[in-house]
Structure formats: structure tokens, C-alpha cells
Chain A
Amino acid sequence: MDLKQLYQDIILEHGKSPRNLGKCEGYSHEAKGYNPLCGDKVHVYIKLNSEKKVEGLTFEGEGCAISLASASIMTELVKGKSFDEAMDIMNAFLNMIKNTSEIQSKHLDEDQKTKLMSLSGVKQFPMRVKCATLSWHTLVSALEKKKEEVNTEKVD
């Protein structure tokens, strides 16, 4: 295992200064996520416009560098995407964390892919995978307007 691969500069930087923190104005969707193993929490806020495009995307929460960086990068990459595009990016992300180390999504440019791939090192640390996926599962839950809180012990 290689710590440097896990704690890349971009993760440490996003972990220290997460982007899009707080509630976004006029949000239409929200969901909470919880990791009972460590007590980490995340609350995702989305503003979908009339064309079902993510106009605003923010989060509140506390957690480790991995979970904060993952949430922060997620908000950057999914903002401006349509509902379907957002779902595609999230599936590509989960596939990267669990299976390949590559990102396969036509909705991200090369820079965005590189950014997201900074989280691929998590794969080597099975105990930390849920730190990285919590915010993404919560994003989907918000988009699908699910009422129940996301619990990392109940999702893959």
C-alpha cells in the first residue's frame, strides 16, 4: 500500500479547504448520509432547474480528508450537469473505486477525470472506501428524492 497514492496533494488540499460548503440558495433537493462506523455525516443540497440541470450543488458535513475531498470534488464536477449526466458520473466514480482505476464517462473532460482519479488510491484501503463513496450515495439519494438517510452499511 502506498500512502502517497492515498493522500495526494489534491486530496489534502480539498480536504483542508472544501469547495461549495454550506447550503445553496433555493435548493430543491437534499439528502443526508451517515457512516455509522466512524460517525461521519454529510448533508447534500441540490438546486435543479426546470430543465433538470444541477444549477447549484453544495454540502455540509464533517469527516476525514478522504470524505471531505470526495464531496468537494463531487460538487465541482457535477455542477452544471443534467440529472442523467450526474448519474452517469456517479456510476463511473463507483466503478473506478471498486473495479478499474480508470474513469469512463463522456461527461467529463480530461482535467476533470484526472481530478476524480486522485481518489482511486482509496481502492487499496478497503476500510476507507466508504469514506470516499458516502457523499456520492447521498447525492443520488437527493436526486432521487429518497426520504431515508443514506447509511454506508446499507449501500454497496
Chain B
Amino acid sequence: MDVNEIKSQFPIFSKKINGKPLVYLDSSNSSQKPLSVINRLNDFYRNEFSNIGRSIHSLAVNATNKFEETRTSVKNFINAKFNEEIIFTKNATEAINLIATTFGQQNIKEGDEIIISELEHHSNYVPWHFLREIKKAVIKFAPINEDGDIIIEKLKELITPKTKIIAITHLSNVTGTIVPIKEIVEIAHKKKIPVLVDGCQSVPHIKVDVTDLDCDFYAFSGHKVYGPTGVGILYAKKKWLEKLPPFIGGGAMISEVKKDNIIYAPLPEKYEAGTMPTAEVITFNESIKFMKSIGIDSLIEHEKEITNYALEKLKKINSVKIIGNPKNKAGVIAFTIKGIHPHDIATILDEDGVAIRAGHHCCQIFHEKMNLTATARASIGVYNTKDDIDILCKAIENCRKIFDLK
């Protein structure tokens, strides 16, 4: 894989930030977009725009076909069995809310238990908290160890006859921990408990095969996979989508409406009410093409190389502490510098054109567990180079100089 060639596909890297070349290390937050994706969105609006669904005219037929082509691409990309197992939402958060709400409505009653982990992003905690409030459900947290790995034995111990669902991340957006989902699904399924996986960080960076994982639900967002904002994806096994009630009501999700009765549309429309982010979903197909053009194996290998290089270099800088040391780690590196608050780090790095994130990264449970208020986070994307890491480290040295650290 030629990283410079790949980087050249992203127009943003020809821009200067504070007079410096952009070093973008915030892909866990959202990735930059290749020209093919940007052009597709523009092209669709210029030459092909129509809403999808009911209209008979040529533009509508074309748009509907293109929309469905993305669904097929997504299905193949994550190896789902059926097109109707792929539901488009506005983001991964909405996808998780869809399941928490509809599954909760149907299957959760007072005292029932939901297991999540201490690694979860707020988007895989707050929707379940709603069930704690509304249904008086109980949320249990599978603990993590110092390294940032979920302690599987402890997770097992949390399961009781009242456990109704396990919702867990595939890849931590703080420590980069790759969670052994297949093992967790096997444990859960032995007790007939369904598993929802938050795949926001995994789909852009590791191989995801939902059939192999055998999870019941898998949520991710398009904008982290080099795609446009406004596209979330929910994969759910057909048996669940057929059984669960609808989520949002309105046009397109019905097949017949009478004064005394409404019949809902079949899958996948049942879960896609109202006008969808048509242009964005159609554009997302280009993102999948982009991912495929690189090949997931080359992408993994490249990001691993850059991550290892970054870890090695960061560890050599005095007073830098890497948070977590998981068994399997992807390109997400949270760190602290003794004596400098993460927000000061982020501001100073920005002056050198280095974009990182500082704060709790929507993971307050994790930070509390680790006795931290905030961390700085550098996250790797397909376009990052060893040069980027060198510039990051130089900028960190500059931080230390400003703060007069020895």
C-alpha cells in the first residue's frame, strides 16, 4: 500500500492549518474524505438528484436503485446474509437507540438486567439508561483491567436469568482495545442472550464479519469509514427485525394506512421512516469502494505499523503516559503528559497543525475508572504516515518546552 498515493486522494491535506501542513490524528472522531466520495455527493446533487421510493419518474428509479446498491455493498462489506438486515439511520447512535428502544419496549421489564462494559462510549450507555429510567431495568458494567481489557470471567459472572441483552463495543475509542466479540457472543448465546455490538471504531480499521461474529445487532457510522456524515448503519438479524416493533413512524415505513388500522411496510422500509439521507447513503457506496480498493488486510497492516511506530516514539518522551495496554490494540492512543492538562496539549499541538482530541472522548465511565478527568488522544487513519508521528512527537516536545518540563 502506497500511503502517499492514498493521502493524495484526500484534498484536505493540501490545506494548511495555522500555516502548517495538516497532521490529522482525529480519525476516531471522524475521518477525512477522499475525492471520490466528495465528487459523488456533488455529482448526485448535480445530475441525479431525486428522492427515493414512490415516484415513478426516471430520476426516482435511478436514485432508488443506487440507494439499494449501497445497501447491497454494505451487506457484502460486513458479510451479512440479507439486504433487509441492513437498516440506514442518521448515525450509529440512532442505530443503537433503535434497538434499545424497540427491544426494550418488547423485552425489558422491571428488574431485568442489561450488561454493558466500562469501555463503552456514551452512545452505548445512555440509550440503555433510558430503559433504566422508564422500565426500571438494571445496568451492569463488565469491568476492565488496568490494561483496558474487559475481564471476560467477570462478565460471565454478571450474567443471571434476568440478563436480557449484552451491549458491547468492538473497539474502544480510548484505549484501542479490540474486544473478543466472538467469544462474548458464544458465552451469551449459550444462555440465549442477544448481543449488540457498537462497531463505530472497528468497521473502518479491522475486518468485520457479522456472520462469523454471530452477533444479533451491529451498529456503525459512515462518517468514520471515510464517508459522509448523516449515515448510520444498523445490522440486525432478520428474525429480530421481523419481531421487534417499529421505531420512528411516518411515511415510507407503512404499507397500508386506515382510520382504524395501520399495516407496517416489510423490511427494511419498516425501519426507514420519512425522507432518508438519500445523497449521503448513495455516496457511502464510494466509501466502501475506497475501503475495498485498499483492501482490509493492507489497511490493517499499515495502521498497525504506524501505531507501533507511534507507541514506540511516544514512550520515549519523558512524562508521556499511554493509557491502557490491551492485548489487541488498534490505532487509538490515549495519553497524558504529567504536568500538562490535555486541553493545553491540544491547543499547543493545533498551532503546529496537529489535530488530536482532548477530553473524556464520551467515555466518562472509563476515565473515572482510571482516575482521570481527561486524556489526549491521537487516532490513526489510513492516510497517516510516520512523518505525521514525527511531527506529533516534535509538537509534544514543544508543549513540554512551553510548560518547562524536564
Contact = CB atoms under 8 A, between A and B. Distances in A.
B338 to A, nearest CB: 12
B257 interface: no
B interface, over-half SS: mixed
B300 interface: no
A40 B403 contact: no
Contacts of B344: 7, 64-66
Interface in A101-156: 125, 127-128, 131
Contact of B374 (A12, A38, A66, A125): A38
A7 B359 contact: no
A38 B359 contact: yes
A12 B347 contact: no
Interface string B333-353: 000000111111001100100
B328 interface: no
Chain A residues touching B, majority SS:
mixed
Interface in A49-88: 62-66
A131 B343 contact: yes
Nearest to A9: B404
Nearest to B351: A3
Interface string A8-37: 000010001000000000000000000001
A40 to B, nearest CB: 7
B341 A1 contact: no
A72 B118 CA distance: 35
> For the side of the interface on A, what is the size category?
20 to 34
A39 B373 contact: yes
Contacts of B174: none
Interface string B293-314: 0000000000000000000000
A38 B339 CA distance: 17
A44 interface: no
A39 B403 CA distance: 22
Nearest to B364: A39
A113 to B, nearest CB: 25
A6 interface: yes
How many B residues touch the partner, as a band? 20 to 34
A52 B22 CA distance: 53
B402 A12 contact: yes
B360 interface: yes
A64 B351 contact: no
Most buried by B among A41, A62, A64, A125: A64
B316 to A, nearest CB: 24
Contacts of B76: none
Given A38-B359, A38-B374, A39-B364, A64 B403 contact: no
A65 B405 CA distance: 14
A7 B345 CA distance: 12
A41 B367 CA distance: 14
Given A3-B402, A12-B402, A39-B373, A125 B358 contact: no
A127 B357 CA distance: 12
Contacts of A66: 343-344
Contact of B367 (A7, A16, A39, A125): A39
Given A3-B348, A12-B403, A38-B359, A63 B341 contact: yes
B65 interface: no
A131 B364 CA distance: 19
A126 B268 CA distance: 44
A6 B351 CA distance: 12
Contacts of A62: 373
Contacts of A65: 340-341, 344, 403
A125 B359 contact: no
B18 interface: yes
A39 B358 CA distance: 11
Contact of A128 (B347, B359, B402, B403): B347
A37 B359 contact: yes
A95 B374 CA distance: 29
Given A1-B351, A65-B341, A128-B343, 20 more contacts: A1-B18, A3-B402, A6-B347, A7-B344, A7-B403, A37-B359, A38-B343, A38-B359, A38-B360, A38-B373, A39-B360, A39-B367, A39-B373, A40-B374, A41-B373, A62-B373, A64-B341, A64-B342, A65-B403, A66-B343
21 contacts: A1-B351, A3-B351, A7-B344, A7-B348, A7-B403, A12-B403, A37-B359, A38-B342, A38-B343, A39-B359, A39-B374, A40-B373, A62-B373, A64-B342, A64-B343, A64-B344, A65-B344, A65-B403, A127-B347, A128-B347, A131-B343
Interface of A: 1, 3, 6-7, 12, 16, 37-41, 62-66, 125, 127-128, 131
Interface of B: 18, 339-344, 347-348, 351, 358-360, 364, 367, 373-374, 402-404
Nearest first, the 7 A-B pairs at minimum CB distance are: A64-B341, A64-B343, A39-B373, A64-B344, A38-B359, A65-B344, A3-B351
